Structure 1
Amino acid sequence: MNQAQQLADCAQEVQRPRIGPDALAAGERVRVQPQLVSSPQAVELLAEWLLAPARSKPVIVISIASGHDEAWIDAPRLAAEIGDQAEIYLIPTGKASWALADRLPARTEVYGGAGRLYPVGTDWMSDPCRAPLRFAWAATGGPRATDALLDDVLTLAPVDRPEKTQPSSQAQVAASVARPGLADSDQAAASTDAVHQIPTDPAAELSKLQLLRREKDRLGTRLEETETALTAVEADRDRQRERCVKVDQRRRELEKELKAARARSVPDGLDEDAFCDPGEQFCHEVYLAWARRIPKSEKAARPLAPYVIGPDFLPSLKVIEGMDRAKVVDVVVEVLTGFRSPGRDLHPLRMDSGGNSRAVVRADGAVCWRVALQKGSPAARRLHFWRSGQAVELSRVVVHDDMTP
């Protein structure tokens, strides 16, 4: 039986309650068998439940690694061994896991095949160490991560006190042996001491000691594996950081070279103030940029598409400060020729921030598009333009957070 069938069988044992405001307000939950959380609504409700102070049970969230249909961590085994001590949810790595991460405090997300136990209360929100992430880098790491999550649950569960057992016959006999030189009252006290000092079952005590030693060795191995994995992650992070620094430095160098090349290729006064009409001037700059950027062998294949300048476009260039006009002209050339530079993030403008939101469409059927002029900050500039077939109307230059067409 595969894991998916096991989860389905578990799901039939109890009726699954919905996660929602009513349940959160009541502060009461029944045991939930492993459930798959993938829709935006389910992710939103799970995030609310994890952050709810009224939650009375720990919650285990297990991620399914990208490109896989089943989790490496054994969710059915956790459900069988944990019982009603915690709730269990499964979430695919991707849009669902990133949406959940956006709604949780920093360093409390779960993704890539790992699992995390979220305790009750709110302490874990400010101290992520209270909700440790248990990694499973591949299917072979699933059993170890499963054991770790079981230990996490048992650590939070109350420990039952063992009932006092009657002393064995061996202990009673040992306690009844009289010690020379003691009075009768002292003999009784010595007998009582002997009952508590002699193990009731030496074999059982030895077995417990062996179990403790094995557990100590297992925990030591896990600690070494965790430290090794952490060292590898930190080393990879340092390599990526160094690479980003080099890439950024190279980008700045190329921008300087491009600016210098533009200055050398165009005589002074040729691009600016060639026309009295601002619209004709901008079209002139677009044509010159197209002539410079598109090789002569590709000009026939990449002509400028028909376009018009909208009424708000040129005024927006004056309002938006800190934007190189030549950069705007270059991006307009890319839009009109279909040329794709890396990092432009060309996409239709949406009605809202929802993942399934429709594109903004004008009454005449034209679709509003959005392309990056800059990146990396809320004030980064964007170009909005309308497209109907091959025809383009330049709309506005805006900052990143301005979604007005």
Structure 2
Amino acid sequence: MGQSGISQVAHSVTPPPGVRRIGSEVEASELAHRLLMPGRRWPVVVLTIPGECDEPFGDPDEIKGAVGDLAEVVLMPTSDVSWAFSRVMPPMTQVYGGAGRVYPVDHAWVADPGRSRLRFAYSLQDRKRITDQLISDALQAAMAAGLVEPRTCAGVQERCGRVQGVIGSRALVTLEDMSLATVWEELTVPGVALDRVLAKGQQVCGSYDPDSRRLDLRAALRFPDAATARAGVVRAYRVGDVVLAQVAAVADDAVTVRLLPGLAVEVGREAVTSNQKDALSGLFSVGEVVAGRVVEADPIRLRLDDVDDEEVPKPAPSLLPGGPPWLRPPEPEPQPPAAAAPSSPASVPPAAPPRLPDVLHGGDADRSPVRSVAPRQPTPLDLARRLPAPQPPAMARPAGAIPAADQARVVQLTNELAAERSTRKALADELAGLRARAAELEAELARATRSIKQLQTSYRGADLARQRLGKQLKSAQDRVGQAAGVPGPLFLDSEEQFRYEVTCEWAQRIPAAEKADKPLAKYVLAPGFLDSVDQIEGISRAKVVAVVVEVLTGQSQQLAGRDVHPLRTGDAGSPYVRRPDGAICWRVALQRESAAARRLHYWRTHDGYEFSRVALHDDYRP
């Protein structure tokens, strides 16, 4: 495809109808520039041919047949052509050596190459895997670009049928006239496995395209946006319910989970673990399913540290009418079998996996330690010297038939050709070894990832058990105190009890001669304030009561350790937090010298104080 072909593709309304082959460095460079140019209308699948092969490991025709007019499919050899492509592309966004990649319309992949995943293939045995991966990536990119909208052309029909089964990312549906249709995972709910949307025997209705035989069910989704998702969660769950959620993002101090695909909730560290040294990024993995308790409905708030092992989560909502719950509890990890006793003391231990130098240079012959200098690869001249010397002809050629100089040249070229072939074979064997080792490393990475998830789950379970034991210990201590005559709460109403404690602290703290000058100012307790006092750990209730008295009597302004100042919306220089009624939110230190130090937030109103919540130092919510 020359420059005119590239220009036609760039200005056409739909992708090219067939697979495009890149055959020159100029075409490769132009393709790279087109991928980086804003305004591209569709995703582009680039599949490469390995250097020693004539055809790719993936199937470009199958990819094109699957994506149709939703994406462009390009085939490119690994040679000077792919190097010309790589020179133009940003770092970590190139593709060559038999791998494939989908370049979405959105250019976020330029800064974050992970948004354009590199799909590897090492032999024809990987054909189905890489083909399916690229099809899935291309369809997801087309969905994200808004190209897969429900079609209203004359051929599309509203049809109903019954799901016969879900196989991987495809579902087979028998329509009412007994014809067959397929549902594609990528064209339903992005990021949700198809068996979490459909189940065998489920009745479904959608838009049927006779040309592709695809059934589009998106119009029947129960929660197409954030508003319907929020309403669905409110209908399905009540405060106090234990529910399932999927981890969507993780930071050191917060984890974001999805109660439904369109509804994410952020859970801070204080609602996950009482150990302030825990980094949540080491406790959760994106995509895993966790259990949490609903502690507030508007806005929705969860706690992940208040779920007992014996509690059964409520079933998650289904995404389509009559479908399965979109989340299911994680299955317990299988325990490794007990090690079998050796048959005899002389049992031979299993062989260790081959080291990288062994794989590269031929296997098990050399088990000596790796030398500091890698062995030199044979050159064509080395290989030529190992060839047998050319034998003289059996019969003398007629005089003058072939000059001696030409005979010598023919022998030299023959030897060089043999040496080149030997070198190529050695390099091909080395490449095969590298690919085998890469496959082993991918398997080892998958095993390590599973082990990390198991350890994370075990740690969280142990941390929850520790917190439960702490609560049980506190309850036992309270019972012991009551038995010893220590009074418990004197009021059934929690706010009356707190006000009583504040009054007692003021009466004991302020001398009689100063009480007239330091009365308790008027105050109210905001909804959720007492919950924050009870739920936050690492600070005693008595300390909170004491600081409340300091605020109400004006003492906190004179105490340097209290660090009283208006609350900002973020770091230094950001605006103060202010309500529409003019009240400004203030914060006062309960602790100091720590990022997890506790703070008391309160509003200074025109006629008194409103205590909002107890929070951590880095929590800027009022």
Give the TM-score range, shorter chain.
0.3 to 0.5
Report the structure, 1 or 2, having the larger helix content.
1
Higher strand share: 2
Considering Cα pairs closer than 8 Å and 6+ residues apart, tell me whether 1 or 2 has the greater RCO. 1
TM-score, with structure 1 as normaliser: 0.37
| TM superposition score normalised by structure 2 | 0.25
